[in-house]
Amino acid sequence: MIKLGVLTSGGDAPGMNAAIRARAVVKTADYHNIEVMGIEGGYQGLIEGKLHRLTSTDVDYIADKGGTFLKTSRCAEFMKESGRMKALSILKDYGINHLVVIGGEGSFKGAQKLHELGVNVIAIPATIDNDLSYTDYSIGFDTTLNTILECLGKIKDTDLSHEKTTIVEVMGRYCGDLALYSALAGAGEIISTPERKLGFEEICFKLNEKIKNGKKDNLILITEKMYDIQDLQKYVEDRLDISVRTSILGFIQRGGQPSAFDRILASKMGITAVELLFKGYSGRAVGIKENDLINVDIEKVHSKLSSNDDKFSLLDTILA
């Protein structure tokens, strides 16, 4: 008898609910007569025994909601063997022998540890940073990208009106996909990401060239954790003798209704995860490559910090 647990862990991402919802994990489990238990608060909630049964009715109306109705957390206790043994004990107490974990790299590492302890686990990628190397897209990336584009569009309107330059910091942690794809979609004149980090002087040179060529409204798009944005602002202002604004988009990027793309991707991945468990697979991560759903050994999943040379070459042409 299969009894399935599902949890969301790490940073929230639009589309997590769609992966859980009636047409994905829960509905597919119902089809196979599998009982589903929702685990509230990620691995921390698992350790604390915060579980309750999920039915199709419970999740009928959550697909269009951002965040995760199961709640999420980051759990330092689970990183220790003692914490994982507590989690394993709770799973055994509830008779749960299969688990779907929805989250990013840290969540996947936790899933791998449970797999090593004998729990049948499938992981679904949900991280706005899109920083997992094995999959083209993770749940939440498309929605976040569209949120950023909406914000940048409004900033550019004001930049144009006042002939100003604005430095905008977007999320992404150690992966520049949000900044890169935003630029490819038409937002930003100067882009700096972890894959192609520009020095302060290079940013000033590029900006000065834009201004000399008559473009006085410019947007400098940077990935978080690369610079102190205030230091960059002061450097540009002093070097070029211009007024510069700054904007850190912050957590506004995480929320909001998931896009159609993210809802559909989440549904497909949720269905695939349950099907894999039903067929006896474990220790696998669901993903998408060139529009085909894939699954890989979760132990081989790593963070993405790649050159994205083809996309940067296209960007160079666009921004030339």
Q: Any idea which residues carry the catalytic annotation?
A: 129
Show Cβ contacts of residue 85 under 8 Å, excluding neighbours closer than 6 positions.
Answer: none
131 within 8 A of 104, measured Cβ to Cβ: yes
Neighbour tally for 276: CB within 10 Å: 18
Neighbour tally for 116: CB within 10 Å: 12
Show Cβ contacts of residue 203 under 8 Å, excluding neighbours closer than 6 positions.
Answer: 190, 192, 220, 232, 236
* CA distance linking residue 7 with residue 107, whole number of Å: 10
DSSP H or E run through 131: none
Strands 218-223 and 190-192: what pairing?
parallel
Show Cβ contacts of residue 232 under 8 Å, excluding neighbours closer than 6 positions.
Answer: 167, 200, 203, 220, 222, 246
Where does residue 111 fall: left (phi above 0), alpha (psi -120 to 50 degrees), or beta otherwise?
Answer: alpha
Tokens of 64: 């269009």
